[in-house]
A = this chain, B = another copy of it.
Amino acid sequence: MKKVVYLDNNATTKVAPEVFEAMRPYFTERYGNPSSMHSFGGSVAREVSAARRSLAELLGASPQEIVYTSGGTESDSTAILSALATNPGRREIVATRVEHPAVLNLCKHLARTKGYIVRWLSVDKDGMLDMNEVRNKISDETALVSVMWANNETGVIFPIDEIAEIAQEHGALMHTDAVQVVGKIPIKVSESNINFLALSGHKLHAPKGIGALYIKKGTRFSPFVIGGHQESDRRGGTENVPGIVGLGAAAALARKNLVEENTRVRQLRDRLQKALLERIPACRVNGHLERRLPNTLSIGFEYVEGEAILMRMDEKGICASSGSACTSGSLEPSHVLRAMGVPFTAVHGSIRFSLSRFSTEEEIEFVVRELPGIIEFLRSISPFGRDALSAICTVH
């Protein structure tokens, strides 16, 4: 296989080798059903409990507050639908315009098919929320406030604890899609008013197909997947044991690596950002420079198409993305960058680089070396790019 420079960790991550080793026995050897009466199943149930404790520790939660799911999307659906089902007297949802499709599309669906009113929160040019608008839109009619902890495209971090307090003042439940922050910044849900927090294993070096939902103790709950008694009657279906064990191991690693994510990974990201801004004319960072995840860089290259950049980078083995993998395939520009009012000259040429603790200096240097030539070439073959650039370069 061709050498790959993988800078698309907000889409999905490599399973850490330690995580894979932790999971491995649960496929062909310790394959018992944790709900079984025999000790072959029972010993597996104990490992599921140990994994739950590990994940709870990463979040600052208690193990009873964790429900395993199949991933971030199911966790989001569970939280949102539970909040609405247990608040039948309230018909309003407050959510940002820049939510992940897992929240965005469900909210739109609920508005269309069930008559819920969604009060959308806008973002400014830095991708930040206006807290006055937040205060104005959350009311005693609000059943649920759903705000992502950090945006998947720009990495911009929202003031979740502050928003959760406002929600609580109005008796609304607070949900946060935290798939992009878990393992990247410190979290302590016990000190927050958040009722629900969604996370996804494959965003933090656990495998695809496993996720979890934190449900604060005392929060009214209505299950989404109804069936057997698993997860204390909160989620039916045989437990995904290897996935759960993997997520537990990934959580332990995340606790250990949290400092590195915020120092070495951040430095690599900053270096990539600085070098690209220096070497490539007419490009700009999307999103607030400080209030941002340490691993994420969204950068808009004006007068060039993002898809073309991705294809050229792909030829060099560089993996990055334009927008979310969950929206790719559509030709519309990112809803996040549009909500930020990024000019159309840059919105189409925006690329997200997302690093991980597996990213290396050599990889960053490789991108810094290759990308300026790619952008220059693409602009040179686009009449629009050429003319616009020569105008800019005259001005500069």
- Chain A contact residues, CB within 8 Å of chain B: 1, 4, 6, 8, 11-17, 19-20, 23, 27-33, 35-41, 69-74, 76-77, 100-102, 105-106, 109, 200, 202, 207-210, 225-230, 236-243, 307, 310-311, 313-314, 318-322, 324-330
Give Cα distance in the complex from A303 to B292, angstroms: 67
Report the copy number of this chain in the oligomer: 2
Task: Check if B35 sits within 8 Å of A328, measured CB to CB.
Answer: yes
Given A14-B31, A73-B228, A101-B228, A37 contacting B106 (CB threshold 8 A) = no
Task: Check if B15 sits within 8 Å of A237, measured CB to CB.
Answer: no
Question: Least Cβ distance of A309 to chain B in Å?
Answer: 10
A237 / chain B contacts, CB cutoff of 8 Å:
70-74, 102
Given A27-B207, A29-B1, A37 contacting B228 (CB threshold 8 A) = no
Given A209-B209, A242-B209, A243-B209, A74 contacting B225 (CB threshold 8 A) = yes
Given A73-B225, A73-B227, A202-B238, A33 contacting B15 (CB threshold 8 A) = no
Give Cα distance in the complex from A396 to B153, angstroms: 77
A320 / chain B contacts, CB cutoff of 8 Å:
38
A239 / chain B contacts, CB cutoff of 8 Å:
208
Question: Least Cβ distance of A127 to chain B in Å?
Answer: 21
9 A-B residue pairings within 8 Å (CB atoms): A14-B28, A15-B31, A23-B27, A71-B238, A102-B228, A208-B239, A208-B241, A209-B242, A228-B325
Closest to A235 in B: B73
Q: Which of B77, B200, B318, B330 sits near A226, CB closer than 8 Å?
A: B77
